[in-house]
Amino acid sequence: MVEKSKIVKALKKPDLALKKGKRFLAHNVEDFIRLITQQHKLSEIVNQKEIRVAGMKRTGNHAIINWVKSQQNGDVGFINNVLANQNPYRYKYENLRDKFPEHKWAIENNHQQAKGNFIKRDCLIYSYEDFPLEQIASNKFERNHDLYLGKSAMRYDLLIIRDPFNLFASRLKISSKATHFLSVNSPNKTMIDLWIDYAKEYLGETNYLKHNKICINYNQWFADVEYQ
């Protein structure tokens, strides 16, 4: 089903499919070359602390991320809303270059780090929105983690969940202006399916997120200072 949908999309937009194919090939060549030439860099600690955030849109992700950032000391980096199974720096660099070419400093900054010229940080935070947890924590990403982000002394997984009634109501309300709030980043799941998956991880029925997992209930965080 997934492969068929990809073929249909490619037939509808052949130029875009060709562009993506070229990029995919270029990315793999670049990663292979870096694995050979940058072995000495891959063993160095780049991030003293790394926080990977997973949450659905309209779950209060940015409020909690800003709250977490405010409690960090030193140099804190943040990569917002990245794609699962991809190099976060490379994704931001290419996305900015394609859509916001005027942001030259941000483009070059992300490009340099995508090539392995990392900025050493006290804390690196990056977030995923509306992705299945099995994609976020895939074996492919774990194998390439140090290549993509640099080695981290400590890694944390932060899972954010909100009650389904307010979450779905919020997404339905805003969908009149932005229809993508009715779907998630999986052709086989609805937003209800994804919320159930996140709830199972929150309750410990699944364990995709294995790096010092911290689960936050947005409703409690928002209303209860002691919970914070």
pLDDT at 27: 80
Please report the pLDDT score of residue 214 as a whole number: 97
CA 66, 67, 68, 69 dihedral sign is positive
pLDDT (0 to 100) of residue 1: 43
| The pLDDT of residue 45 | 95
Residue with tokens 């009149």: 176
Please list, in sequence order, all residues whose beta carbon lies within 8 angstroms of the beta carbon of residue 83, skipping any fewer than 6 positions away.
91, 131, 185
Q: What is the pLDDT along the chain (228 residues), one digit of tens a residue?
A: 444 544 444 445 667 677 777 877 888 788 888 878 887 778 899 999 999 999 999 999 999 999 999 999 999 999 999 999 999 999 999 999 999 999 999 999 999 999 999 999 999 999 999 999 999 999 999 999 999 999 999 999 999 999 999 999 999 998 887 777 889 999 899 999 999 999 999 999 999 999 999 999 999 999 988 888
For 46-223, CATH number out of 3.30.450, 3.30.43, 3.40.50, 1.20.120 equals 3.40.50
Q: What is the pLDDT of residue 12?
A: 59
pTM, two decimals, is 0.87
Q: Where are the domains of the chain?
A: 1-37, 46-223
